[in-house]
Amino acid sequence: MTESDGDGATAVVLDFLARGRTDTDRPRHKQSPLAYAVETSDFSLYELELDDDADITIGDRVTVGSDQTEGIKRVRAVEYEGLSGGAQSELEYVIEDLLEAEEKRFVDVYNEAGPITLRLHQLNLLPGIGKKLRNNILDTRKRKPFESYEDLEDRVSGLHDPKGILAERILEEIRGDDLKYRIFANAEE
């Protein structure tokens, strides 16, 4: 797995195109290899132009930005529609893996979510969470913070698959669905 230490953001490679894009007028033999990646903290999407001999493949963690991984010549932000079909397909699996690997970070969304406006709460942005379930989560977390997805399911009546709920919302935000509020993808800190 390729990864570098230092300044920059960590991203997971979603797809690797050894001969570059197919939707360009440039001859394929003159194109640089490309990769598509998703950043692990704010789910930004990138197209990475690579050196011909770059040792990067699908699933690798790379650093983008300053002190980026060796073999990356250029990084360009892209929208979901700008990803290759393979990258779009792989995205869901990478999100699921990240939700599993960083369980505490994502369980804390349920622990720390707060009001957005007087009428809207961050928890209501999650698919399938209405007023009743939101209030149940808020009441339950007052007694003791949630420690895992399993803890959430066990303690909150009516909450099923809390990890899947987060994955669905993250994917909605990444896809650029017309959303007024964001929790995960490119959300302002």
For 22-63, write each residue's pLDDT tens digit.
Answer: 655 555 456 789 999 999 999 999 999 999 888 999 999 999
d(CA 87, CA 27): 22
Confidence (pLDDT) at 125: 95
Write down the pTM of the prediction.
0.87
Superfamily of structural domain 102-174? AF1531-like domain (1.10.150.280)
CA distances from residue 81 to 104, 155, 183 in whole angstroms, order as listed: 30, 39, 21
pLDDT greater than 70 at residue 187:
no
Q: Is the model's pLDDT at 5 over the cut of 80?
A: no
Q: What was the pLDDT predicted at 144?
A: 97
Determine the pLDDT at residue 108: 97
Q: Is 187 helix (H, G, I), strand (E, B) or coil?
A: coil
Tokens 């699933």 found at:
59
Q: Say if 9-84 and 102-174 have the same CATH topology.
A: no
104: which DSSP letter?
A: H
pLDDT tens digits along 95-150: 999 999 999 999 999 999 999 999 899 999 999 999 999 999 999 999 999 999 99
pLDDT at 24: 54
Among 53, 12, 14, 13, smallest CA distance to 33 is for: 53
Angle at 167 between CA 135 and CA 21, to 5 degrees: 155
Report the distance separating Cα 184 and Cα 48, nearest Å: 22
- In the chain, what are the domain boundaries? 9-84, 102-174
Contact by Cβ (8 Å): 141, 123: no
Cβ distance 48 to 74 under 8 Å? yes
Q: Taking a C-beta distance cutoff of 8 angstroms, is the pair 26, 79 a contact?
A: no
Work out the pLDDT band at 1, boundaries 50, 70, 90.
very low
pLDDT of 75 over the 70 cut: yes
Q: What is the pLDDT of residue 189?
A: 42
Cα dihedral 77, 82, 83, 85 in deg (nearest 10): 180
Q: How confident is the model at residue 154 (pLDDT cuts 50, 70, 90)?
A: very high
Where residue 159 falls among pLDDT bands split at 50, 70, 90? Answer: very high
Q: What is the pLDDT of residue 69?
A: 84
| Tokens, residue 189 | 């800190």
CA distance linking residue 96 with residue 10, whole number of Å: 16
Q: Domain 9-84 belongs to what architecture? A: Beta Barrel (2.40)
Beta strands 9-17; 34-39: pairing state: antiparallel
At residue 32, the pLDDT reads: 85
pLDDT of residue 107: 98
pLDDT for res 177:
67
